Structure 1
Amino acid sequence: MRAVTGTPPRFSDDFCARLRDAFLAARYDADGVLGALGPPAHSALGRGEPEPAFRASRDAGTLGTLVRLFLLGGAESRAETAAALGSVPLDDAVATGLLRADGERFRAGLDVRPHGDEDTSWWIVSDLDSDVLGEPVPVEHVLGVGHASLSLVRATSRRPVGSVLDLGTGNGVQALHAGRHAASVTATDVSERALALADTTFRLNEVEVELRRGEWFAPVARRRFDQIVCNPPFVVGPARVDYVYRDSGLAGDDASALVIRQLPGFLTPGGVGQLLASWLHIRGQDWADRVSGWLPGGTDAWVVQRDVADPGLYVGTWLRDAGIDPRSPEGRAKSAAWLDWFAANEVEGIGFGFVTLRRTDATPTVVCEDLRQAFDDPLGEESAAWLDRVDWLRSPGTDLLGTTFTVPSSVLLERIDAPAEEGWASSALRLHRTDGPGWTHELDELAAALLAGCRGALPLGDLLELLAFAHGEPVEELTATALPMVRELVRHGMLLPSGADRR
């Protein structure tokens, strides 16, 4: 099957309504598909193992037909396809590109799959991936909902806002989620094909989104938004565009740098931007210095590095993502050019993660940190709470020494003991937050004793005086050592002002 290129025909409102009715009648939604396939087959499908889903779909009627068509790349008979699509004429389905005739059978021409959150199910329209096509995807390929998209969905704050900009909307998944908590949503993309498919996604789901075409922030010049989300073409390497969805045409990590530099200027005061980004680890440079150097003034920033890949692994991963075998002549040639570029620029690794930005009139807080440990909690709530804690720490009315603190119940103290001459001796103390990102902090005995007293009864200053007296330490020195630790623990949600101090 050859990939469809160019701008797809626009689905009419009537066509979208008929298709929506067919999907609803068959229960082709997130819960319906899971119920029909069952958790084992559904999980196998997520791993790229379709056979259990094929088997489970056989007894699922019209829902099974839709699953085989749009999720499994199957070929279905005219009768089965017509029954599954209800009042949608098959000729119209082929004319729009939704289906492709394959002899006497029909296959999907587009990927249309359910996607949902806790309360809502949508349908996302995108191009077929290389596994279904049986060949590399074309340059203007519109990606489906992948791991990066889902990561950004989970890392985005969902507090109510007036306006959201989805920069580089692709298939529109970020804009759909934004519509749950924003009064208005604007979505942009440089790709005409992406905007056409996103428009179909929005109308199929009866969601109002303003669409604008253009590069980067040009389509929304002189406008401001309460929140901006962005999954940019962040793949790093030579300045080229093999695939629009991932390549910016800018060299190295310049695409991430451009977004981070320009995004705060399009935020309202106090507005928040959240994006995925990549950055180079260059020999002799600190990655945190590199990324923080991109920030404009007046910007709070929380940069979370979730992974670092070596150049060889990175290149192989992205080649396979596009359907190119790294062992093929084409794959080897592309690998060689890519790795030559990394070597010439002294690239030792490629970092990837989430960036939260906020426009502020206060002295900015900028934190870059590694969070490569495994955790399952989404970062969206945590990013919003992190900004709240930053606000509290720098508020003119905040007096750390006069504040009573509590250690949340989700924070545990781990003690590691090693064999000693007289039994066991503590070799390490570690504070561990069991929810959120799972932060850990190494402590000494004095710090552990201080936190043991943080039960909402005595102010921090009084606790430090008692601790200094008990251990024969100068209170001024103990205080000077403790305050930076306290600020860090507050930022990480491991030490919180007690209820009386959070009004």
Structure 2
Amino acid sequence: MLPELTDERCDRLRDAFETTGYDADGVLKLLGPAAHAALGRGEPEPVRRVTRDAGALGTLIRMFLLGDVEPESAVRAALVPLDLDDAVSAGLLADAEGGLRAKLDVRPYGDDRGSWWVVSDQDAELRRGPGAERGAPLPSEHVLGIGQASLSLVRATPRRPVGTLLDLGTGCGVQALHATRHAHRVTATDVSQRALTLAAATFRLNRLDVELRRGEWFTPVRGRRFDQVVCNPPFVVGPPRVEYVYRDSGLAGDYASALVVRQLPAFLTDGGSGHMLASWLHVRGQDWAERVASWLPPGVDAWFVQRDVADPAHYVGTWLRDAGVDPRSPLGTEESARWLDWFDANDVEGIGFGFVTLRYHGATDSDVVCEDLRHAYDDPLGPEAAAWLDRVSWLRLHPGPDDLLAARLAVPPSVVLEEVSDPSPEGWAPVVRRLHRTDGPGWQQEVDELAKALLAGCNGALPVGDLLTLLSAAYDQPADALAAAAVPAVRELVRHGMLVPAEWLERA
């Protein structure tokens, strides 16, 4: 049965939340850093202790965030002006021994510009009731809440203003919420009617106008184009099945990710960009980068970032637990065997996971970069993805060696040179010279003495070609040979943001 959170009910629920202070800041202020961290770790007792005497706000926190049963009188007072019978009829609450419990997860969530509420199904640890004891497997139509994958995509999406944006496979609506900050019009799709129902409640509760359409993949928006597309697809890989709509596509292997990568560019405006999570197989004897690059249609720039690679056994166990299935149970054993048999039959050695940034330009050439960035870094990837597209665009406008040699480039302030030297009879002898970006993904690039000297002169005053002419004289190197070696190296440094057009820094 689908929840019935109408406009009127959502307005009253919002009034109750605003009156009690049930928002991202209010919850954090009441709980404090320690209890708030415990909430994030799934440890309820510190939260119960802090909220014990917190009145209506404490009631809402325990009911919606911990899944506790609360006395009817306390719930009634906390939800004013929403009538209690209305809340039960809407599918928001249910009767339970000793009071009432939440049937949905309604969670405060925010960014640096304000707070929202997100409506989703309760996770496996909070679900209770007849036939659905705590920790029981999730139902097939389960609508996931604010998970780590969603948060990763939020951080990996550029937030420059756009006219139109498509959230493909919106789920409970997290990506669309963020999209309303920078997109004039937002469209959200999903194959699941339950997901669209809960997403609609999310948008009503936050008084946001988001167009909702139901259907598989891109079918609901066939014939339309968008300035930006974001997608958190059902990217779990393995045998073809749909046990849980939020994670399973019904397609074998990594074909769900491949399908989105292949089809997404056709729904972008000229210069439009796509940003998605994806998984890909590491197949014995095959380069993962060649595999994912083969998915791309022509006329598309693409940046594939691999953030993790899991071995098959760990991968299966992780996703079984995510769905509330104990790998040690008979059901878990059966599913593990079927999943691992499929991996063995298809020579799968690992499963890669990461982000894909696409831009449609329609030209015959494409710039495709596949990078393994499994090291830790703190910066969100969204600003870097936008900057990567800028740099690739600039390189497309400067395709030939002469174009690059005529450019005035500069080393950004975020780039430093690290040198490691060994003692020698003549003093310290350099062993390693390494450029290091202190922002973004923290890229590193080893350079030789000539490259170090060239970069020292890249301050925007002279074109690259003039700098190379000076170096050829200083190091007694043929100018043509020096330029031929320098051009591809300079191009890579620009692509990774270690050199940029000098006018960009002047504008900044």
Cα displacement string for residues 149-184 of structure 1 (whole angstroms, at most 9, x for unaligned residues): 011111111111111111101001111111111111
* Residues 213-224 of structure 1: pairs in structure 2 closer than 5 A: 213-224=214-225
2:3 and 2:92 in contact (8 A); partners too: no
Residues 1:236 and 2:230 are matched in the alignment:
no
23-32 vs 57-66, which deviates more?
57-66
What is the CA distance between 1:502 and its match in structure 2?
A: 7.5
Q: In 1, Cα distance between the equivalents of 2:167 and 2:348?
A: 31
TM-score w.r.t. the length of structure 1 is 0.96
Amino acid at match of 1:409: P
What is the CA distance between 1:9 and its match in structure 2?
A: 2.7
Query: CA RMSD, aligned part only?
Result: 1.6
Q: Which consecutive residues of structure 1, in runs of 5 or more, have no partner in the other structure?
A: 1-6
Which residue of structure 2 lines up, in the alignment, with residue 463 of structure 1?
467
Which residue of structure 2 lines up, in the alignment, with residue 378 of structure 1?
380
Cα displacement string for residues 444-492 of structure 1 (whole angstroms, at most 9, x for unaligned residues): 2221121112122222112112222222222222211111111111111
340-349 vs 51-60, which deviates more?
51-60
TM-score w.r.t. the length of structure 2 is 0.95
Aligned partner of 1:11 among 5, 9, 20? 5
Which residue of structure 2 lines up, in the alignment, with residue 24 of structure 1?
18
Secondary structure of the corresponding residue to residue 432 of structure 1: strand
What is the CA distance between 1:501 and its match in structure 2?
A: 9.1
* Residues 410-429 of structure 1: pairs in structure 2 closer than 5 A: 410-420=414-424, 424-429=428-433
Which residue of structure 2 lines up, in the alignment, with residue 395 of structure 1?
397
Q: In 1, Cα distance between the equivalents of 2:259 and 2:39?
A: 37
Which residue of structure 2 lines up, in the alignment, with residue 211 of structure 1?
212
Aligned partner of 1:98 among 82, 92, 95? 92
CA separation of 1:221/1:431 partners in 2, compared to 1, >3 Å: closer, same or farther?
Answer: same
1:416 and 1:429 in contact (8 A); partners too: yes
Q: In 2, Cα distance between the equivalents of 1:106 and 1:41?
A: 24
Residues 1:485 and 2:502 are matched in the alignment:
no
What is the CA distance between 1:269 and its match in structure 2?
A: 1.1
Which residue of structure 2 lines up, in the alignment, with residue 495 of structure 1?
499
Cα displacement string for residues 276-317 of structure 1 (whole angstroms, at most 9, x for unaligned residues): 000001111111110010001111111111111111111111
Secondary structure of the corresponding residue to residue 462 of structure 2: strand
* Residues 18-417 of structure 1: pairs in structure 2 closer than 5 A: 18-133=12-127, 134=134, 135-362=136-363, 363-395=365-397, 399-417=403-421
Amino acid at match of 1:345: N
What is the CA distance between 1:420 and its match in structure 2?
A: 4.4
What is the CA distance between 1:40 and its match in structure 2?
A: 1.6
What is the CA distance between 1:419 and its match in structure 2?
A: 4.7
491-500 vs 345-354, which deviates more?
491-500
Q: In 2, Cα distance between the equivalents of 1:32 and 1:454?
A: 50
1:403 and 1:501 in contact (8 A); partners too: no
Q: In 2, Cα distance between the equivalents of 1:243 and 1:224?
A: 29
2:398 and 2:404 in contact (8 A); partners too: no
Amino acid at match of 1:303: F
Secondary structure of the corresponding residue to residue 83 of structure 1: helix
Cα displacement string for residues 394-438 of structure 1 (whole angstroms, at most 9, x for unaligned residues): 115982212222111111111122454565432212111011111
Secondary structure of the corresponding residue to residue 76 of structure 1: coil
1:404 and 1:501 in contact (8 A); partners too: no
Aligned partner of 2:435 among 413, 431, 434? 431
Q: In 2, Cα distance between the equivalents of 1:121 and 1:501?
A: 34
Amino acid at match of 1:481: A
Q: In 2, Cα distance between the equivalents of 1:264 and 1:385?
A: 19
What is the CA distance between 1:325 and its match in structure 2?
A: 1.2
Over the matched positions of the two proteins, sequence identity in percent amounts to 67
Q: In 2, Cα distance between the equivalents of 1:444 and 1:83?
A: 71
Amino acid at match of 1:92: D
Q: In 1, Cα distance between the equivalents of 2:317 and 2:436?
A: 36
Q: In 2, Cα distance between the equivalents of 1:498 and 1:236?
A: 44
What is the CA distance between 1:384 and its match in structure 2?
A: 1.2
Which residue of structure 2 lines up, in the alignment, with residue 3 of structure 1?
none
123-132 vs 484-493, which deviates more?
484-493
Q: In 2, Cα distance between the equivalents of 1:72 and 1:317?
A: 23
Q: In 1, Cα distance between the equivalents of 2:282 and 2:425?
A: 45
Which residue of structure 2 lines up, in the alignment, with residue 4 of structure 1?
none
Q: In 1, Cα distance between the equivalents of 2:398 and 2:356?
A: 26
Q: In 2, Cα distance between the equivalents of 1:364 and 1:273?
A: 15
Q: In 2, Cα distance between the equivalents of 1:323 and 1:215?
A: 26
Q: In 1, Cα distance between the equivalents of 2:332 and 2:62?
A: 31
Secondary structure of the corresponding residue to residue 434 of structure 2: strand
What is the CA distance between 1:361 and its match in structure 2?
A: 2.7
Q: In 2, Cα distance between the equivalents of 1:494 and 1:261?
A: 31
339-348 vs 99-108, which deviates more?
99-108
Q: In 2, Cα distance between the equivalents of 1:340 and 1:421?
A: 61
2:172 and 2:202 in contact (8 A); partners too: yes
Q: In 2, Cα distance between the equivalents of 1:157 and 1:164?
A: 12
What is the CA distance between 1:61 and its match in structure 2?
A: 2.0
Amino acid at match of 2:369: V
Q: In 1, Cα distance between the equivalents of 2:241 and 2:381?
A: 32
Q: In 1, Cα distance between the equivalents of 2:77 and 2:419?
A: 64
2:69 and 2:98 in contact (8 A); partners too: no
Q: Which consecutive residues of structure 2, in runs of 5 or more, have no partner in the other structure?
A: 128-133
Secondary structure of the corresponding residue to residue 264 of structure 1: helix
1:280 and 1:351 in contact (8 A); partners too: yes
